[in-house]
Amino acid sequence: MSEQGERATFLEEEFGAHNYKPLPVVLTRGEGCWVWDVEGKSYLDMMGAYSAVSHGHAHPRIVARLTQQANRLSVVSRAYHTDQLGPFLQKACQLTGMERALPMNTGAEAVETALKAARKWAYKVKGVPEDKAEIIVCRGNFHGRTLTVISMSSEPQYRDGFGPFTPGFKLIPYGDSAALEKAITPNTAAFLVEPIQGEAGIVLPPEGYLKACETLCRRHNVLLICDEIQTGLGRTGKLLASMHESVKPDAITLGKALGGGILPVSLFMAKKEVMDVFKPGDHGSTFGGNPLACAVGLEALSVLIEEKLIENSAVLGAYFLEELKKIACPAVKSIRGKGLFIGVEFDLTMITAREVCLRLMKEGVLSKETHETVVRFAPALIITRELIDLAVIKIKKVFEEIAHEKRK
Ligand SMILES: *Cc1c(COP(=O)(O)O)cnc(C)c1O
């Protein structure tokens, strides 16, 4: 690494908390599907910032809208109306079929909002006795990092040393609708679920799972809340991943790509019956719904539709998956995904996912391991067939190298 690179990593190490373990590359610029390090080397970004960069880096339309709005009005708080909030929420509702939206900033905040809404709905609408509301979640879930959100987690590392935890959650296995039916009680407010578990390692539930969960939730007057922060906005080849099974959740959370790869923008969205439990003063966020975020969010949604990024995700995702499956590598245990949301699972006795990512990086392809075994590919949805072909050539080279070594 160059002196400049060494300096940058040293400063992070010295003055930063050590809560991440980045790959040893120092990035300084991005455009479309490409990023450059401080030495000027280019990389194909096949990670897309955990699906936050679905529009690619520095999308010209979104950057133009950002600068225009930044020069006009950025932050005034929700103490006032602005001309940007309404149109953004309207667009989000029109696209998703939800009736109302509440703007926050990060994904975790949108999930917190969902939990608060579900509890309040249980008490005020469903008639659950005070403080008895239960929310059912799945093992392997990832919904963010706040204390209440990690209180729902089944991942020991996310919880270790952070107790005591928020009560009121029930964990069930993912992909098992019978387990959901068993877990529901008269006090169940909601079932919160990712249509595909992202951080768990791109885990796809059995076909028909979400539909079965929807039926059960309707039958028992339980809210179905889909966390679409990572799976939403075209990532899996539909606007929402729940749309693959024509599921209509009572509420959803959106984030990540909603910020157009530029800002943190998130939404909790729901039908009126749920959202209307919030009265003035019940909940809020200083930055949530600020005009700059709304302008960027609205442009991000417009670009998604007008540039047909969802269709591109479906078509090129299927192509990419097919091409990956053609690569023979004995260290690969499984290759799975939907749209441009793909996970390659490695046999830990042969190689770690991090080692694979380090080798891909040397070839100019950026990815990141999820847990120890899964390498994820979630490039910007603007990616072309040519760039996928280029990525596949490089991925193939690395996989074949590994296969060759392991054969020895
Ligand atoms: C990333 C993610 C979150 C948390 O979003 P942050 O912006 O990091 O707080 C929540 N749910 C899912 C499914 C995610 O992938």
Cα separation values, 89 from 100, 212, 265, Å = 7, 30, 12
Contact between 251 and 271 (Cβ < 8 Å): yes
Task: Answer yes or no: 142 catalytic.
Answer: yes
Distance CA 292, CA 76 (A): 10
Burial state string for 166-194 with b = 16 or more CB within 10 A and e = fewer than 16: eebbebbebbbbeebbebbeeebbbbbbb
> Strands, E, within 46-133: which ranges?
100-104
Q: What secondary structure does DSSP assign to 373-391, as a single string? A: TEEEE---TT--HHHHHHH
Q: Please give the CATH number for the structural domain made up of 60-306.
A: 3.40.640.10
C-alpha torsion sign, points 106, 108, 111, 113: negative
Q: So what's the pLDDT on residue 1?
A: 83
- The residue among 290, 238, 259 whose CA lies nearest residue 63 is 259
Span 127-181, pLDDT tens digits? 999 999 999 999 999 999 999 999 999 999 999 999 999 999 999 999 999 999 9
Task: Answer yes or no: 227 catalytic.
Answer: yes
| pTM for this prediction | 0.98
Q: So what's the pLDDT on residue 408?
A: 67
Measure 199 CA to ligand 1 centroid, in angstroms. Answer: 9
Measure 345 CA to ligand 1 centroid, in angstroms. Answer: 21
Span 96-139, pLDDT tens digits? 999 999 999 999 999 999 999 999 999 999 999 999 999 999 99
Q: So what's the pLDDT on residue 4?
A: 92
Q: So what's the pLDDT on residue 328?
A: 83
Measure 277 CA to ligand 1 centroid, in angstroms. Answer: 24
**Which residues line the pocket of ligand 1, CB cutoff 6 A?**
50, 106-108, 111, 142-144, 194, 198-199, 227, 229-230, 255-256
Taking CA 143 as the corner, what is the angle to CA 88 and CA 230, rounded to the nearest 5 degrees? 55
Q: So what's the pLDDT on residue 126?
A: 98
Measure 235 CA to ligand 1 centroid, in angstroms. Answer: 14
The number of the ligand 1 atom at minimal distance from the alpha carbon of 145 is: 9
Distance CA 360, CA 356 (A): 6
What are the average pLDDT values for consecutive 10-residue runs of the chain, which has 408 residues?
92 97 96 98 97 98 98 97 98 98 98 98 98 98 98 97 98 98 98 97 98 98 98 98 98 98 98 98 98 98 98 98 94 96 96 97 96 96 98 96 84
Among 143, 268, 374, 376, say which to mutate for ligand 1: greatest number of ligand atoms within 8 Å of CB. 143
φ, ψ dihedrals at 372, nearest 5°? -95, -15
CATH superfamily membership of 3-58+308-407: Aspartate Aminotransferase, domain 1 (3.90.1150.10)
Cα separation values, 166 from 135, 147, 153, 208, Å = 11, 7, 11, 31
Q: Where in the chain is the domain with CATH 3.90.1150.10?
A: 3-58+308-407
Q: Which of 37, 176, 227, 250 is catalytic?
A: 227
Distance CA 242, CA 98 (A): 13
Residue whose entry in the numeric block shows the structure tokens 């989000």:
92
